[in-house]
Amino acid sequence: MRRFASVSLRGAMHVWRRNLTVYAKTWHLNVLPNFFEPVFMLLAFGLGIGHYVQNGPDGTSYLRYIAPGLIAYNAMMGASFEVTYNIFVKITFARSYESMLATPLEVEDIVLGEILWAVTRATLYGGIFLLIVTLFGAVEPIHALPVLLVLPLIGLLFASLGLVFTAIVPTIDLYSYYYTVFLTPLFLFSGVFFPVTDLPAWVQPVVPFTPLYHGVRVAQDFAHGRAETGTWSSVLVLAVSGVFLTLLAMKRMRRRLVK
Amino acid sequence: MPRMAEADVVVHARALRKLFGSAVAVDGIDFDVREGECFGLLGPNGAGKTTTSKMVTGVSPRTSGELDVLGRDIGRFGREVRRSLGVVPQDDNLDQDLTVAENLLVYARYFDLPKKKTLARIDELLGFFELRARAKARVDTLSGGMRRRLLIARGLIHEPRLLVLDEPTTGLDPQARHLLWDRMRTLRASGVTLMLTTHYMDEAEQLCDRLLIMDEGRIVAEGAPRALVRDNVAPEVVEVRGPAETRKAVLLAVADVIEKDEALEERLMLYTKQGDEVIRLLSAHAGIETLRRRATLEDVFLELTGRRLVDR
């Protein structure tokens, strides 16, 4: 507990700024694909599949139904990329953290800085997607801002979750399991493409324990201008588990980095 | 409260021990590093030098014992102590995504240094380490010697009182080594305390005021380089190379004028106070080559442990 209490936000921001310094050098190369992806997805899922699916489950067009879920998914992926392969390489090959730990920075500051950076990337990644779908008319401009505010929460949850995995994963090859066995099913079965209530009855009890479901739910509700008790409890689930997993990531990363 | 016995002691270690699982890396060592000196840890790979330096810099927690650095317990006040402590690691961990100057700039932020002051300091360090022309170069385009100089510059960015260097010249060519030694002497003259690990006896002799010779996690000897040689071995060594069957005759011929002999696989070492006499007595022997030299720390290590410092 003493270590959690002495986390330096200033130190974390130095780590965050280091990543920004690197990103600023190549942002024009990195950011462009983020614009293409939503266009392709909207064309394929919204207009392609949407052509056969006349209406979304809530009566709106299928494009409008899937748009918020795809935004949530992109925030998840934006955070995950940052804390998986990138951090693993920093630990094992670049030895970046060894150099940082020789300064006043502690493991917990570094973890917080990396998570805040992943949150930033998730917000940027999902935010560009949001911008495009709003331009396509799939989200009302007036609802775009509340949806934007959900993205850091989704980012926090998946950044800390991915970092816990990175802290315990022995080899880089195991990330393919994280992506295909964990993140892909979340993408397909969290209500992005069809409501989770259409899932088989035996799966239903599991749904509230899957992380992307809450992100999709909040994004959809905000995008469609409705906020119910369930919406707010999902906001709470995102925030509380994000904070809990951040503390767990700190603990696990200390075990990994300090020998 | 600081527990230091003397005001000028910057590192104070007592019964310092480090275990990795059940393996003993450092086995209860005592030493003091004094302000302004260059202090060396000399020993072969696996002697516990790197582990010791990592404990001193607070990167690796000790298993037991006392360890005060710059007057404070490094285990409890690591963050504070590292504000005045510079570290030059053995492995190159420069930021490959950044340029030379950016590496220093980003690192300076970790110490909360103000930007204006940092820029002046970067310029000064790049000049001192002859890197100014490469300030905007990517790190991966630098030579090994340049990278090592940049690593040291990075360790000095916050003007530390103590600089800890782990194997600073391993893997460098002779020219690059001499440039580094020269810079380290200048640093020491400017008042920075240096603590370095090395497995090169010439490096320890050239740079260190005092050193510990370590082997298998323990201290084998301690003192100034010349004194260690003087106290442990005869001042001169004659190395004899030749067929194994000549050795017996050689030893018989010089028996009265040598202090000690050591038979290595490819040569015979004769420790003596009378080098002239040994050479004269051996000049009559056919089929052997002799090399006469001053005794070094390498000989001290061989004498104390029965093994050599560097495997050749």
Query: b/e map of B244-277 (b: 16 or more CB within 10 Å)?
Result: eebbeebeeebeebbeebbeeeebbbbbbebbee
Q: Which residues of A touch B93 (CB under 8 A)?
A: 94-96, 98-99
Q: Which residues of B touch A258 (CB under 8 A)?
A: 59-61
Winning range, highest mean pLDDT, from A18-27, A129-138, B11-20, B37-46 = B11-20
pLDDT digits (tens, 9 = 90+) for B28-62: 999 999 999 999 999 988 899 999 999 999 999 99
pLDDT digits (tens, 9 = 90+) for A19-45: 999 999 888 887 887 788 888 888 888
Assess whether pLDDT exceeds 50 at residue B78: yes
Mean pLDDT of B227-240: 93
Alpha helix locations (H) across chain A? 2-5, 9-41, 50-52, 62-83, 85-92, 96-101, 107-135, 141-168, 175-177, 184-189, 211-223, 229-257
Assess whether pLDDT exceeds 70 at residue B156: yes
Sheet containing B85-88: order of strands = B85-88, B162-166, B193-198, B38-42, B210-215, B218-223
Q: Which residues of A touch B102 (CB under 8 A)?
A: 21
Assess whether pLDDT exceeds 50 at residue A254: yes
Taking an 8 Å cut-off on Cβ atoms, the answer to whether B106 and A21 are in contact is yes
Chain B CB within 8 Å of residue A102 CB: yes
pLDDT tier for residue B303 given thresholds of 50, 70 and 90? confident
Greater confidence (A5 vs B15) lies with B15
Residue whose structure tokens are 């298993």: B63
Domain that holds residue A123: 2-257
B91 closest CB neighbour out of A6, A10, A95: A95
Assess whether pLDDT exceeds 50 at residue B249: yes
CA distance B73 to chain A (A): 15
Taking an 8 Å cut-off on Cβ atoms, the answer to whether B82 and A102 are in contact is yes
The fold for domain B234-294 equals Alpha-Beta Plaits (3.30.70)
Tokens of A226: 């409705």
Q: Which residues of A touch B99 (CB under 8 A)?
A: none
Question: Which of A71-85, A99-113, A159-173, B246-260 comes out lowest in average pLDDT?
Answer: B246-260
Chain B CB within 8 Å of residue A10 CB: yes
Q: Which residues of A touch B87 (CB under 8 A)?
A: 102
Tokens of B222: 């301690």
pLDDT digits (tens, 9 = 90+) for A141-176: 999 999 999 999 999 999 999 999 999 999 999 999
Give the per-residue pLDDT at B1: 45
Q: What is the mean pLDDT of chain A?
A: 93
Q: Which residues of B touch A103 (CB under 8 A)?
A: 82, 107, 110-111
Which of A2, A98, A99, A114 to mutate: most B Cβ within 10 Å? A99
Give the per-residue pLDDT at B311: 56
Assess whether pLDDT exceeds 80 at residue B4: no
Q: Which residues of B touch A99 (CB under 8 A)?
A: 89, 93-95, 107, 154
Query: b/e map of B209-241 (b: 16 or more CB within 10 Å)?
Result: ebbbbbbbbbbbbebebeebbeebbbebbbbbe
Taking an 8 Å cut-off on Cβ atoms, the answer to whether A103 and B78 are in contact is no
Taking an 8 Å cut-off on Cβ atoms, the answer to whether A103 and B60 are in contact is no
pLDDT digits (tens, 9 = 90+) for B283-299: 888 889 999 999 999 89
Which DSSP state fits B274? -
pLDDT tier for residue B230 given thresholds of 50, 70 and 90? very high
Taking an 8 Å cut-off on Cβ atoms, the answer to whether A258 and B60 are in contact is yes
Taking an 8 Å cut-off on Cβ atoms, the answer to whether A99 and B106 are in contact is no
State percent of chain B over pLDDT 70. Answer: 97
Residue whose structure tokens are 């998730």: A122
Assess whether pLDDT exceeds 90 at residue B5: no
Interfacial residues of B (vs A; Cβ cutoff 8 Å): 20, 57, 59-61, 78-80, 82-83, 85, 87, 89, 91, 93-98, 102, 106-107, 109-112, 154-155
pLDDT digits (tens, 9 = 90+) for B211-220: 999 999 999 9
Let me know how long chain B is: 312
Give the per-residue pLDDT at B6: 61
CA nearest to B20 within chain A = A259
Assess whether pLDDT exceeds 70 at residue B147: yes
Q: Which residues of B touch A17 (CB under 8 A)?
A: 106, 109
Give the per-residue pLDDT at A91: 95
Assess whether pLDDT exceeds 80 at residue B161: yes
pLDDT tier for residue B312 given thresholds of 50, 70 and 90? very low
Q: Which residues of A touch B82 (CB under 8 A)?
A: 102-104
Chain B CB within 8 Å of residue A96 CB: yes
Taking an 8 Å cut-off on Cβ atoms, the answer to whether B59 and A98 are in contact is yes
Tokens of B150: 């940049």
A135 to each of A34, A67, A78, A124, B187, how far by Cα in Å? 15, 12, 21, 16, 61
Q: What is the mean pLDDT of chain B?
A: 92
Per the CB < 8 A criterion, the answer to whether B253 and B285 are in contact is yes
The fold for domain B9-229 equals Rossmann fold (3.40.50)
Assess whether pLDDT exceeds 60 at residue A202: yes
Please give the tally of structural domains in chain A: 1
CA nearest to A99 within chain B = B93
CA distance B62 to chain A (A): 10
Chain B CB within 8 Å of residue A95 CB: yes
* Torsion angles phi and psi, residue B19, rounded to 5: -115, 140
* Partners of residue A164 on adjacent β-strands: none
Taking an 8 Å cut-off on Cβ atoms, the answer to whether B93 and A94 are in contact is yes
Task: Give the residue extent of every domain in chain B.
Answer: 9-229, 234-294
